[in-house]
Amino acid sequence: MVGSSHEAMHRIFQKDPALLTRALQSVLRIPFPEPRDFAAMNVDLTEIEPIERRVDTLLRAETDDGAYLLVVESQGKPDERKRGSWPYYLSYLYEKYRCEPVLIVTTQSSATARWASQPIHLGVRGCPSLTVRPFVLGPDNVPVIADEREAAQDVPLAVLSAMTHGKGPQTAPILESLAAALRTIDPDSAAVFVQFVDSCLADSRAQQMWRDLMTAIQYFWRHPLAEQVREEGREEGREEGRALERAESVLRTLQWRGIDVPDLVRKRVLASTDMDELGCWLDRSYRVADAGELFVEGA
């Protein structure tokens, strides 16, 4: 299955790009023009080795007003590094493709949604040279769809609703309505949507409820597309394993050199999944005199 809620929260828009523009128009009330066509684009924004930068999902939408690049970032928690990477993504994409970039952040957390919706100002305080305003889809604005007929009218939006609101008192009617609505669409799409929802249900009771509902339609779980999604999830797990191995190498090197590693440093190193960042820390671990210098540029 999909390896994490992070993956599902942006890949749903790869599965149904039109859902993204519907969300912009109806949920966020943004006057986005109606697209004629969509095209998936390479998410790799690497420009110079060895720095690697990737967006989560990147779509090109062709409209009567011109082409737009829709940048979707799935965010589990606040991350101040995004103050630098998000403006970079937008300016790089505009320079490369000469299309208007639009940043959409998806999250299951109200606190993260409030953080992500804050404009990013770069430059003189009160008179910035650059301002980035992310559009955020989260628990406070994604509609709660707990009615079977409403879910059947827009199944992808009902899937997004279940992924976003998959806990709390409304979980049961949301999941029951979606389970019924999935029977009205083609099995290929349903198979993928089932996996997306399953990966986003952090509450064990909600996840078990969802799997019980799916018992009656088990062909979704055995469908070839579902197996493809599961394999992609396993690959993500392998990437996480490689990141953990590199993080442990950083810590082992410091310990081998007799350098004390405080708990805060250990936790930060082990929490990182950025292979380039971990590579820099590994290089520095052979030179620094203090573990805290791992995080100092040029140390």
Query: Per-residue DSSP letters for 179-217?
Result: HHHHTTS-HHHHHHHHHHHHHH--SHHHHHHHHHHHGGG
Q: What is the pLDDT of residues 4-21, one digit of tens each?
A: 777 778 888 888 888 888
What's 138's DSSP letter?
Answer: S
Identify the pLDDT of residue 2. 47
Residue whose pair of structure tokens reads 């999909």 in the numeric block = 2
**Could you tell me the sign of the dihedral formed by the alpha carbons of 64, 65, 71, 74, in that order?**
negative
pLDDT band at 119 (very low <50, low <70, confident <90, very high): very high
Share above pLDDT 70 across residues of the chain, in percent, rounded to a whole number: 85
Identify the pLDDT of residue 206. 85
| Greatest Cα pair distance in the chain | 65
pLDDT band at 1 (very low <50, low <70, confident <90, very high): very low
Q: What is the pLDDT of residues 71-83, one digit of tens each?
A: 999 998 999 888 8
Identify the pLDDT of residue 236. 61
**pLDDT (mean) for 182-210:** 85
Tokens of 193: 């949507």
Report the chain's mean pLDDT, rounded to a whole number.
83
Sorted by sequence, the CB contacts under 8 Å of residue 82 that are 6+ apart come out as 73, 75, 116, 120
Residue 182: closest CA among 144, 217, 147, 233 = 217
Identify the pLDDT of residue 51. 46
What's 136's DSSP letter?
Answer: E
Lowest mean pLDDT among 36-50, 195-209, 217-231, 273-287: 217-231
Residue 157: closest CA among 278, 12, 6 = 12
Q: What is the pLDDT of residues 144-183, one digit of tens each?
A: 999 999 999 999 999 999 999 977 678 888 998 999 999 8
Identify the pLDDT of residue 136. 95
